[in-house]
Amino acid sequence: MEVIEDILKLLKTKQTYVLTTHIHADGDAIGSLLALGLALLNSGKNAVMIHSEPVPESYRFLPGAEQVRLVQDLKEEKFEVGIALDCTSLSRSGDAEQVLQKADCIINIDHHISNEFFGHINMVETEAAATGEMVCNLLVKGGFTVTPDIATNLYTAIITDTGSFRHQNTTANCFRTSAYLLECGADHSCIQHHLYEQRSLESLRFLVNVLQTLSLNENGMIAWMTISKDLIKEEDNSEGLIDYAKSLKGVEVAILFKELDSGEIKVSFRSKSFVDVNQLAAHFGGGGHERAAGCSIKGNLKEVEQLVIRKAEEYLAKRRAAE
């Protein structure tokens, strides 16, 4: 409670704010950024929302998205308060890090277990399903009006981070917050339309191509899929793909390998019920949550695949031996 009060005290007294979120932004990142940004703007503050990359096309329908500025377009502006939303570390905000670091005070609002407490004030709630849930609580406690636009952003944040209320992180509080946001005017059908009915033909073809790479290990408990550089040329949205591997009966760990232009392989992990993939990702210098984590590994695609699958098998064997 004290942390919230510290933040609210600051929000009442300071006038200039810069807000940002993590690179490769998802719905929780953009939704939380826009919700808090709009709330500050609505209450007469000088608030600038920045991002290291353009807002992903799939989230440009969100109210206020057009107000997010690219870091590179920013002049030599100074801000009293810098706010990082949904960022485990300052560097996760990409180029925005430099701007934030020049602020007098940094507020860190995040729900990831691997958060590095990099702010002067750290509101880190690992039991929250989405940073959007925390922002909603903050706004309500602070007496900010949750307008329909703000509600649409926060509702999108919760929907995307809970996989439409399917993931393990779904709690009674997610539901109560969503009920409240619908009553505040969150536009359910607009959100559903933009999140789930705006798929490009290319992305559907991409899905088919990626599904065709699906493999299972010998005991059927690890399933993985691979996106090679060639595939990415056609399309680059791999969000949700890993869930197809996870949906298989008997699978405990699902892994998605993505070959980046940089020569790195981005590895995403999901687990169903007992393997802590945060640990698995940490072994390769990454992190995340118990059931969803990721890392990046330099190397050749095939070699990285083998390395990671071998390590996953070790973890699985260890966990099963311990039971």
Q: Give the binding site for a second copy (CB under 8 A).
A: 159, 164-168, 170-173, 175-176, 178-180, 182-183, 188-189, 192-193, 196-201, 204, 207-208, 211-212, 214, 216, 244, 246-249, 251, 272-273
Give the type of residue at 89.
S
Which of residues 76 and 218 has its CB atom nearest to a second copy in the complex?
A: 218
Q: Cβ contacts of residue 292 below 8 Å, gap of 6+?
A: 167, 268, 269, 270, 271, 277
Closest CB 175 distance from a second copy, rounded Å? 4
Which of residues 2 and 197 has its CB atom nearest to a second copy in the complex?
A: 197
Element (H, E) at 164: none
Closest CB 51 distance from a second copy, rounded Å? 24
CA distance 19 to 90: 12
CA distance 64 to 149: 8
Which of residues 121 and 227 has its CB atom nearest to a second copy in the complex?
A: 227
Please spell the DSSP secondary structure of 68-126, one letter per residue. PEEGGG--S---SEEEEES-SSGGGGTTHHHHHHTSSEEEEEE--TT----SSEEEE-T
Please spell the DSSP secondary structure of 290-320, one letter per residue. SSEEEEEEES-HHHHHHHHHHHHHHHHHHHH
Which of residues 74 and 248 has its CB atom nearest to a second copy in the complex?
A: 248
3 state SS of 176? helix
Closest CB 171 distance from a second copy, rounded Å? 7
Closest CB 264 distance from a second copy, rounded Å? 28
Closest CB 21 distance from a second copy, rounded Å? 24
Closest CB 220 distance from a second copy, rounded Å? 8
Which of residues 21 and 238 has its CB atom nearest to a second copy in the complex?
A: 238
Which of residues 211 and 260 has its CB atom nearest to a second copy in the complex?
A: 211
Closest CB 253 distance from a second copy, rounded Å? 13
Closest CB 150 distance from a second copy, rounded Å? 16
Give the type of residue at 118.
F
Which of residues 74 and 214 has its CB atom nearest to a second copy in the complex?
A: 214
Helices (H), 14-79: 27-42
Which of residues 207 and 301 has its CB atom nearest to a second copy in the complex?
A: 207
Residue showing tokens 């007992």: 274
Residue showing tokens 């691997």: 114
Cα–chain center distance at 238: 13
* Phi and psi torsions of 121, nearest 5°: -125, 130
3 state SS of 50? strand
